[in-house]
């Protein structure tokens, strides 16, 4: 048994379990039921049969959902219909289509629809063009059966605005679907009584195939007072768990498709949940880079203030790291007494001998050049310096540039000579301390530091 599909708009539906066909005990539609007002009433869990008497015929049905949870519908035929065109099936809430499939020629089942209790309608027509009705499934009997499942573990549609957001409790996992009406998003809301480290978890159902995900999903987390200014945006979500420090207050999670085109299939199921642990983290921060190491070798978490660019580091309990080095797995920082990572700054290594440098991002520089604008004392300078594999400033060293082609000279003050004539010191060495025979000689360096003359 296959899924129902929509030939032109590619709506994917929930897989069948077992088979759907016609039964001898099934009730029949009540003609005429060509309008919404004359719809044949269907009892939930009761099969009803019908057929289109002409290619222009329309069959309407109505049913009542009385339980909070979800429902779905079986469409059954005894054999695969061998006609040019198939059936077109709509499920409506009021005048809104919440499900649509066309090109139906065999039995199938809709995806799960977690809608609130109320009256719903089914409309069945042929999917042949209005000007061409030959080859339609006329006088072919089909069956319908609505199933409802009571559950407190599902979203409640329509939750596509903040006003209709589903309340999400701490540690509660809610199931949800990307339905036809969900392209503006599913909204969930939660409240924090105190500042907390919040972990949001998003996970696709185990039966969802990667090919059905398109460009994936977006997740926004924002405060009640101002959606845009406080939005935390995590794009192209596959299975995703992320953390964010939030003050006490009311918050919303919005889940929506990532792109106008190449969207995940309607009916794609996912779960959303959150946990919250009280923390004394002082501010709200974006994550550093594209990831946050919640459990690096030191059990530390790194954050970057999106407004100031300052980087902060915290223990898992929210205690700020100060007056020490810390590595986020890629970059090394030094966190000062004011909790911020040192940046744009020369300073002494803890050994008290070597000089190191932290760039504008707070990253310690290793095996690279840096444009230094302040001395250790804080005075304005305009120097280019090189820091070795240990992060130590080259001092009184003759070396090659990164291409291994041009000589460069870091004078006894650690400055790369790049302003014309200069004199090598009498103690100049190669990196590592090897003797260098240019001691005391004159040299000429271009503005990029390349030495073009030694005499």
Per-residue pLDDT tens digits for 59-80: 999 999 999 999 999 999 998 9
Tell me the three state secondary structure of residue 307: coil
Alpha-carbon gap, residue 442 to 12, rounded angstroms:
77
pLDDT value of position 6: 37
The per-residue pLDDT for range 82-92, each reduced to its tens digit, is 888 999 999 99
Mean pLDDT throughout 213-221?
A: 79
pLDDT (tens digit, 9 = 90+) per residue, 228-274?
333 444 545 556 777 777 778 899 998 888 766 677 788 889 999 99
DSSP one-letter string for 275-302: EEEE----S--EESTT---TT-TT-EEE
pLDDT over threshold 90, residue 423: yes
pLDDT, residue 134, reads: 76
Topology adopted by domain 166-278: Jelly Rolls (2.60.120)
- The ranges of the chain annotated as CATH 2.10.270 are 286-341
Helix (H) or strand (E) holding 160: none
Q: Using the predicted structure, report yes or no on whether residue 291 has a pLDDT greater than 50.
A: no
Q: Encoding tokens for residue 39?
A: 């719809």
Evaluate whether 29 touches 48 at the Cβ level (below 8 Å): yes
| pLDDT band at residue 287 under the 50/70/90 scheme | very low
Q: Are 42 and 64 in contact (CB under 8 A)?
A: no
Residue carrying structure tokens 């130590």: 392
**Which two tokens mark 349?**
């290594």
> Quick one: which of 113, 107, 179 has its CA closest to 144?
107
Name the nearest CA neighbour of 427 among 436, 419, 416, 418.
436
Mean pLDDT of the chain: 83
Helix, strand and coil percent figures for the chain, each rounded to 5: 0, 45, 55
Strands 286-287 and 217-223: unpaired
CA 133/CA 145 separation, integer angstroms: 27
Q: Exposed (0-12), middle (13-18) or buried (19+): which is 266, by Cβ within 10 Å? A: buried
- 407 forms beta bridges with 400
**Listed residue (107, 101, 150) closest to 122, CA to CA:** 101
Over residues 201-205, the mean pLDDT reads: 89
- Residue 50 near residue 57 (C-beta atoms within 8 A): no
pLDDT at 281: 61
Is there a contact between 356 and 348 (Cβ–Cβ < 8 Å)? yes
Q: What count of other Cβ atoms lies within 10 Å of the Cβ of residue 8?
A: 9
One-character DSSP codes across 163-225: TTPEE--TT-EEEEEE-TT-TT-EEEEEEESS-EEEEEEEEE-TT--GGG-TT-EEEEEEESS
Beta strand pairing call for 249-257 and 186-192: antiparallel
**CA 351 to CA 23: how far, in whole Å?**
86
In angstroms, the first-to-last Cα distance of the chain is 87
Instruction: Locate 442 and state its tokens.
Output: 């004159």
Considering the four listed CATH numbers 1.10.287, 3.40.720, 2.40.160, 2.10.270, the one that applies to the domain covering 286-341 is 2.10.270
Task: Report residue 186 as tokens.
Answer: 């599913």
Retrieve residue 208's tokens: 């969802």
Distance CA 304, CA 284 (A): 9
Indicate whether 183 pLDDT > 90: no
| Portions of the chain given CATH number 2.60.120.380 | 27-147, 166-278
Give the C-alpha separation, 440 to 423, whole Å. Answer: 6
Residues paired with residue 369 on neighbouring β-strands, in sequence order: 386
Position 32 confidence tier, pLDDT thresholds 50, 70, 90: confident
Q: How far apart are CA 25 and CA 17, in angstroms?
A: 21
The Cα-based distances of 344 to 225, 347, 359, 425 in angstroms read: 36, 10, 5, 28
> Alpha-carbon distance 234 to 198, whole Å?
15
Pick the more confident residue, 227 or 28: 28
Domain 27-147 carries which CATH code? 2.60.120.380
């Amino acid at each position: 048994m296959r899924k129902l599909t929509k030939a032109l708009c590619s709506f994917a539906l929930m897989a069948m379990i077992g088979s759907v066909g016609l039964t001898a005990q099934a009730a029949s539609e009540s003609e005429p039921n060509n309008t919404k007002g004359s719809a044949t009433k269907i009892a939930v869990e009761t099969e009803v049969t019908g057929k289109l008497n002409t290619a222009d015929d329309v069959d309407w049905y109505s049913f009542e959902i009385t339980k909070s949870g979800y429902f779905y519908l079986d469409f059954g035929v005894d054999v695969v219909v061998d006609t040019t065109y198939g059936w077109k099936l709509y499920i409506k809430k009021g005048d809104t289509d919440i499900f649509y499939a066309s090109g139906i020629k065999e039995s199938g089942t809709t995806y799960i629809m977690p809608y609130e209790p109320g009256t719903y309608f089914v409309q069945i027509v042929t999917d042949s063009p209005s000007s061409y009705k030959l080859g339609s499934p006329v006088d072919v009997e089909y069956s319908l059966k609505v199933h409802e499942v009571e559950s407190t573990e599902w979203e409640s549609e329509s939750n596509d605005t903040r006003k209709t957001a589903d309340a999400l409790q701490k540690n509660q996992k809610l199931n949800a679907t990307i339905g036809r009406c969900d392209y503006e998003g599913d909204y969930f809301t939660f409240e924090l009584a105190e500042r907390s480290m919040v972990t949001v978890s998003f996970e696709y159902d185990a039966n969802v195939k990667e090919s059905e995900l398109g460009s994936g999903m977006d997740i926004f987390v924002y405060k009640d007072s101002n959606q845009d200014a406080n939005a935390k945006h995590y794009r192209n979500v596959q299975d995703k768990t992320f953390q964010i420090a939030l003050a006490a207050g009311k918050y919303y999670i919005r889940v929506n498709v990532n792109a106008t085109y190449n969207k995940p299939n309607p009916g794609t199921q996912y779960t959303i949940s959150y946990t919250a642990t009280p923390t004394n983290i002082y501010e709200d921060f974006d994550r550093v880079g594209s990831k946050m190491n919640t459990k690096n070798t030191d059990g530390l978490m790194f954050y970057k203030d999106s407004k100031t660019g300052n980087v902060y580091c915290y223990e898992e309990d929210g205690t700020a790291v100060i007056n020490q080095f810390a590595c986020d797995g890629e970059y090394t920082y030094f966190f000062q007494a004011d909790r911020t990572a040192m940046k744009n700054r020369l300073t002494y290594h803890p050994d008290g001998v070597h000089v190191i440098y932290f760039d504008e991002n707070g990253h310690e520089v290793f095996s690279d050049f840096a444009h230094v604008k302040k001395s250790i004392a804080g005075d304005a300078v305009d120097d280019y310096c090189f820091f070795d594999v240990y992060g130590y400033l080259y001092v009184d060293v003759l070396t090659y540039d990164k291409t291994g082609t041009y000589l460069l000279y870091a004078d006894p003050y650690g400055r790369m000579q790049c302003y014309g004539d200069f004199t090598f010191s009498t103690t100049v060495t190669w990196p590592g301390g090897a003797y260098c025979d240019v001691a005391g000689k004159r040299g000429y360096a271009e503005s990029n530091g390349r030495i073009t003359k030694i005499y």
